[in-house]
Structure 1
C-alpha cells in the first residue's frame, strides 16, 4: 500500500506590531519630557554669568537690552516713565518683587536706574537675573 502524506495547511502569517509600538511610545515619552512648555516673557538678551543664584518666578520682569533699552512685558519703556509702569504693575501684585534681566553688555548706570525706580515705587525685593556658567 502506498502511504499518503497529507500536508497540513500553514497557519496564517501575521506581523507582530508590539516592538514597533514599544519604540513609538518610548519616542513619545522622550519628546514630551524634553519639550519646552513655557517661555519667559521679555526680549532675548545675553545675560551675564554668575556662580550662584536661585531661580524664582518674578512678579515683575524688567529687561535691559545691550543698547540700554528698557523693556517691560515685551514693550519698550521710556526711562522717564519707568517708575509709573512699575507702580502700575505693583498695584496688580503688591507683594511681588522685581527681577532685572540684563544683557551682559548693558551699562551699569541703566541697571542702577531700573533698581532706583523700583525702590522709589516701593519694591524692596529687587534682584538681577543671570545665567549659570
Structure 2
C-alpha cells in the first residue's frame, strides 16, 4: 500500500497591502511637505579695507526697532524711502544703498527691506551693522 503525501502548497505573499501602505505614505508626504518657491538673497561682504569707510553719494537707510525708517538722517515712511531710492538709482544705477538695522531689528524685517529695495531697482545694497 502506497500512501501519497499531498504536495505542500506554497504560500504566496500578496503585494496589495504593501502597495497600499506605500501609496498612503506617498500621499502623506505630498500633503505634509510644502512646495514653495524659495529664493535666496545674495549677500556679498565688503572687503576688510572698506568696512569702516563712508562712501560718498551713498544712501543710508536706518531701520529702527519700533519700525521707524530714516533715509540719510531724515525720518520718512516706507513708501517715501522706496520712492527716493528708486529715483536715485534710476539716474545712477550703481549707487550704493547702505542698510543699517538698529538694535534688535528682526531678520524678517531686514529681508523684506532687501526685497523691497531690489524691487525699487537698487542693485548695489550693503547691509552694515547699525
Q: Tell me the TM-score normalised to structure 1 length.
A: 0.50
The corresponding residue for 1:55 is 52
Higher relative contact order, chain-length normalized (CA < 8 Å, sep 6+): 1
In structure 2, C-alpha distance between the alignment counterparts of 1:110 and 1:75, rounded to whole Å = 20
Shift of 1:92: 5.0
Which whole-Å deviations, capped at 9, do the CAs of 1:33-75 have from their partners, x for residues lacking one? Answer: xxxxxxxxxxxxxxxxxxx952341611100112121110222
Question: Match for residue 125 of structure 2?
Answer: 126
SS for the counterpart of 2:83 is helix
Query: Which deviates the most, 78-87 or 63-72?
Result: 78-87
Match of 1:76 in 2: 75
Q: Map 1:23-102 onto structure 2 (within 5 A).
A: 54-56=51-53, 57=55, 59-102=58-101
Shift of 1:93: 3.4
Tell me what 1:33 maps to.
none
Once the 2 structures are TM-superposed, how far is the Cα of residue 82 of structure 1 from its aligned partner?
3.2
**What does residue 30 of structure 2 align with?**
none
Q: 1:92 to 1:61 in 2, by over 3 A?
A: farther
Structure-2-length-normalised TM-score: 0.51
How many residues were matched structurally?
80
Aligned to 2:110: 111
Distance 1:120 1:89 in 2: 14
Listed as ranges, the gaps of 5+ residues in structure 1 are 1-51
Give the Å deviation of 1:88.
Answer: 2.0
Shift of 1:127: 1.6
Query: After the TM superposition, which parts of structure 1 deviate over 3 Å for at least 4 consecutive aligned residues?
Result: none
Which consecutive residues of structure 2, in runs of 5 or more, have no partner in the other structure?
A: 1-46
